[in-house]
Amino acid sequence: MSEPSFSELDVPIDTNIEKEKPSSKVLRGMPDFFEIEATERGEQIDSDKNPEYVMINLDTNCGMQCPKCAEPGQGAAERGKSLSNEERTAILDLAAEIGVKELVVVGTGEPTKWNNYINQVKPAIEAAYERKMGTVLFTTAIGLTQEQAEFYRDHDVTVIVSLDSLDPANYARLVGHADKPGASNILPAVLEHIRILRETYAADSAQATADGRSIVRLGVNVTVQGANVDELEAIRDFAGDDMMFIANVLMPEGRARRFEDFEKLVGEKGLDALRKRAAEMSDTGGHSSLANEVCSYFNRGISVDTDGRELFCGYDSQTHKLGNIQDHLSAQEVLQRYQEKRTVYRAWCEQIGQKPSCPNRVEDTPGQPSFAEFLDEWRERQQPES
Ligand SMILES: C[S@@+](CC[C@H](N)C(=O)[O-])C[C@H]1O[C@@H](n2cnc3c(N)ncnc32)[C@H](O)[C@@H]1O
Ligand code: SF4
């Protein structure tokens, strides 16, 4: 019997918020882009059968020190040896075999720093491109060059630039550099790199869909926090017509989880108010890859940490116990885990009586298990009795 679809679940969703205005843009590499492509081919996407995304955490470092930093994947246990480029390519081979369409690079550091770009980012994007996959790349753009911009443009890369403030002092504070020499020069450098990206991608950014929306290949991502919630309108205006505007609420992961006072980052308005404001303002209604009200990197994807351990989401630091993808590099096993994840998530939603768009962005409910705890219990129940 097939699983009930999310829309059939009788639980409230956390993003069902009236948006200020519908978006006229579709971001390449996102679920609605794939829907449009499939419709043009006369096909239908079946996410229960195949994932669309492979999130691979690269072992990249970063010069910023954002207190918010989710440090994708880190936190639960010591990491093992990082994957080599060849090992990552083997994972991309597997991903292609099971129908994945897009590589997602969220971190763990800054992909445009030259050493990261040359040693890991460029080879991963090239390998994905050779397997007919695009790449979604998250970056501050701090190290971006004209050469990089052209490489991204020519290799099907959707670039999502983090831009948490348009005020130089606030920007420096939010990237943890307020007291560093030259702090006020960081934002102008980032803005210049965004200009280069926009100019380089300009010729590609005017494609239209059948319903009159325009397909864009660049995005601006704001991590909504107390210190920038009042800047959302200005940043949305900055995104203009050629960049998708994504407002994403803060997740208590990585450094943000360990930060002495997570509430300080959230500010007086509280997480719920930030979440509501992000959903109202974001072109996507929330995260970049929302579909059916849930983040698709999670719900329609497989994720691998720097050392090859599978995660339920690249950001998640608590689901490492799934094992190392290299130990079960068979399409069938990876697909089984993918399908198990979707089943567990649905069961968890039923149990907690909510459908969070992201399991990492939901506050603990007294008496209810977190997603990671629920997963542990689920897996214990699946063990045959001795
Ligand atoms: C970890 S960063 C790595 C890439 C790059 N250094 C950057 O900051 O864009 C990937 C994405 O995660 C976002 N992010 C970081 N910490 C977060 C948090 N605690 N909650 C939500 N998003 C977060 C960043 O804004 C960025 O869009
Ligand atoms: S959010 Fe990005 S820029 Fe900030 S510390 Fe983390 S990896 Fe670096």
Q: What is the DSSP string of 207-227?
A: -B-TTS-EEESEEEEEEE-TT
Which H or E run contains 96? Answer: helix 85-97
pLDDT at 258 over 90: no
208: left (phi over 0), alpha (psi -120 to 50) or beta: beta
pTM greater than 0.85: yes
Rounded Cα distance between 196 and 308, Å, is: 34
Confidence of residue 167 (pLDDT cuts 50, 70, 90): very high
Q: Whose CA is nearest to atom 23 of ligand 1?
A: 70
Q: Which residue has the tokens 């995260």?
A: 287
> Among the atoms of ligand 2, which is closest to the Cα of residue 62?
8
Query: Exposure of 126 by Cβ count < 10 A (0-12 exposed, 13-18 middle, 19+ buried)?
Result: middle
> Among the atoms of ligand 1, which is closest to the Cα of residue 253?
19
The average confidence (pLDDT) of the chain is 87
pLDDT in tens, 215-235: 999 999 999 999 999 999 999
Average pLDDT of span 100-118: 94
CATH code reported for the domain at 18-328: 3.20.20.70
Number of alpha carbons in the 13 Å side-chain half-sphere of residue 219? 32
Nearest Cα neighbor of 221 from 175, 268, 151, 278 is 278
**Is any ligand 2 atom within 6 A of the Cβ of residue 58?**
no
**Is any ligand 2 atom within 6 A of the Cβ of residue 110?**
yes
**Is any ligand 1 atom within 6 A of the Cβ of residue 162?**
yes
Q: How many whole angstroms from 317 Cα to the centroid of ligand 1?
A: 14
CB 336, CB 93: distance < 8 Å: no
Locate the DSSP E strands across 8-83: 25-27, 53-56
Give the 3-state secondary structure percentages of the chain, helix then strand then coil, rounded to 5.
40, 15, 45
> Among the atoms of ligand 1, which is closest to the Cα of residue 69?
16
Other C-beta atoms closer than 10 Å to the C-beta of 148 total 26
Check residue 3 and report its DSSP letter: P
pLDDT in tens, 348-372: 999 988 888 888 777 667 788 888 8
Degrees, nearest 5: CA angle 173-175-177? 60
Share above pLDDT 90 across residues of the chain, in percent, rounded to a whole number: 58
Q: Using most ligand atoms within 8 A of CB, pick from 221, 249, 311 the residue to mutate for ligand 1.
A: 221
Dihedral through CA 47, CA 48, CA 50, CA 52, nearest 10?
30
- Rounded to 10 deg, the angle between the 146-154 and 186-201 helix axes is 40
**Is any ligand 2 atom within 6 A of the Cβ of residue 254?**
no
Confidence of residue 38 (pLDDT cuts 50, 70, 90): very high
Q: What Cα–Cα distance (Å) separates residue 182 from each residue in 168, 177, 178? A: 11, 9, 9
Locate the DSSP E strands across the chain: 25-27, 53-56, 102-105, 134-139, 157-162, 214-216, 218-224, 243-249, 290-291, 294-295, 301-304, 310-311
Rounded Cα distance between 321 and 319, Å, is: 5
Ligand having the closest approach to the CA of 73: 1
Q: How many whole angstroms from 358 Cα to the centroid of ligand 2?
A: 20
What single letter denotes the amino acid at residue 187?
L
Average pLDDT of span 256-274: 81
Q: How many whole angstroms from 372 Cα to the centroid of ligand 2?
A: 24
* Per-residue pLDDT, 328: 67
pLDDT at 28 over 70: yes
Confidence of residue 78 (pLDDT cuts 50, 70, 90): confident
Dihedral through CA 372, CA 290, CA 314, CA 64, nearest 10?
-120
Average pLDDT of span 122-126: 98
> How many residues in the chain?
386
* Per-residue pLDDT, 259: 59
pLDDT at 15 over 50: no
Q: Residue 290: beta bridge partners?
A: 295
